[in-house]
Amino acid sequence: MNSSTVIKIMAGLLPAAPITGELLDAQIGESQLTDNDSESSSNSRYADYEGPTMEDEIANHSGNVPDLRGTEVYNVQVGDNFDPLAGVYAIDSQDGDITDNIEVTSNTVNTNRPGSYTVGYRVENSRNGWFEYTRSIEVSNAPTDPVPMIPPAEAELEDDSDDETSESAITFIGLDDITIEQGETFNPKEDVEIIDVDGSDITHRAYISGEVDTNSPGEYTIAYAVFDHFGDPHAKARTVIVE
């Protein structure tokens, strides 16, 4: 996940506050976010897509061993965040799309220091056939590379052609507005869950902005931003009232 892109998303939601990109495990300065559920991104995601579909990729793969794709050499700009699974997918001649089976077996990437690093991957199919790959990751002052696109399923292309304004549906759970008592503990991660368009849990990939001072009565806003597995950004805000 590219933190500079997240900054742009959050800046659009928080026009009056400076933003820095941090993972959900950290809170970032107090914000004045309006209650704007900005789940829209690019309309008609695949309008100009001419590459192979996921079904094409699977049909062209043979043998008892699965394959990993989207593992080309990748450059990360110093200071940006790096998600080793972004844009990576796996296929099998019988099991089909087995991206959910991918395991990151090693990851030496340190995005705070320029250099050459590696990420190890392993994927196994239902017949105990497996494939491992070591990917090269460069950290430099050059801009972060775009996240490789995972080929869409044929149904996704059809949906896009049927409705050019269709959007992927990220599900935000536990982001209802709440009221708490002065002095009460508030954890912005508690009971929060974010489900990707493919049903996977991507809560750990989320960014958070905003801070609640539970010692000072008032109305506070917390914003959450995340990329789905297509690389499209989504964001949602919640209001926390301290009485």
**What is the distance between the alpha carbons of residues 171 and 54, in angstroms, rounded to a whole number?**
24
| Residue-wise pLDDT tens digits, 154-175 | 887 776 555 444 345 788 899 9
Give burial (CB, 10 Å; 0-12/13-18/19+) of 199: exposed
Q: Is pLDDT larger for residue 44 or for residue 234?
A: 234
| Buried/exposed code over 68-90 (b: 16+ C-beta within 10 A; e: otherwise) | bbbbeebebbeebbbbbbbbbbb
Given this model, what pLDDT does residue 134 score? 97
Closest residue by Cα to residue 199 from 156, 236, 234, 169: 169
Given this model, what pLDDT does residue 77 score? 94
Determine the residue type at 174: G
CATH superfamily membership of 54-146:
Immunoglobulins (2.60.40.10)
Is residue 102 predicted with pLDDT exceeding 50?
Answer: yes
Are the beta carbons of 6 and 41 closer than 8 angstroms? no
**What is the distance between the alpha carbons of residues 89 and 66, in angstroms, rounded to a whole number?**
11
Per-residue confidence at 79, pLDDT binned at 50, 70, 90?
very high
Q: Count CA within 13 A, CB hemisphere, residue 80.
A: 27
- Range 11-20, long-range pairs (CB < 8 A, 24+ positions): 12/38, 13/38, 13/223, 13/225, 13/235, 13/237, 14/209, 14/223, 17/209, 19/209
Mean pLDDT of 185-210: 84
Check residue 72 and report its DSSP letter.
S
Task: Give whichever of 42-46, 131-135, 181-185, 197-201 has the largest mean pLDDT.
Answer: 131-135
- 81: helix, coil or strand? coil
| Residue-wise pLDDT tens digits, 5-55 | 444 444 454 433 333 333 443 333 333 333 333 333 334 566 667 789 999
Q: Which helix (H) or strand (E) holds 226?
A: strand 218-227
Is residue 225 predicted with pLDDT exceeding 50?
Answer: yes
Per-residue confidence at 74, pLDDT binned at 50, 70, 90?
very high
Mean pLDDT of 130-138: 97
Given this model, what pLDDT does residue 36 score? 38
All CATH 2.60.40.10 domain ranges in the chain, comma separated? 3-41+167-242, 54-146
Write down the mean pLDDT value for the chain: 79
Are the beta carbons of 84 and 228 closer than 8 angstroms? no
Q: How far is residue 31 from each of residues 5, 17, 82, measured CA to CA in Å?
A: 18, 6, 25
Kindly report the pTM of this predicted structure.
Answer: 0.53
Given this model, what pLDDT does residue 165 score? 41
Given this model, what pLDDT does residue 38 score? 38
**What is the distance between the alpha carbons of residues 109 and 126, in angstroms, rounded to a whole number?**
30
Could you please state the CATH topology (level 3) that the domain comprising 3-41+167-242 is classified under: Immunoglobulin-like (2.60.40)
Task: Give whichever of 20-24, 119-123, 148-152, 230-234 has the largest mean pLDDT.
Answer: 119-123
Mean pLDDT of 128-156: 92
Given this model, what pLDDT does residue 160 score? 57
Q: Is pLDDT larger for residue 149 or for residue 7?
A: 149
Radius of gyration of the chain (CA): 20
Q: What percent of the chain has pLDDT over 70?
A: 76
Are the beta carbons of 131 and 122 closer than 8 angstroms? yes
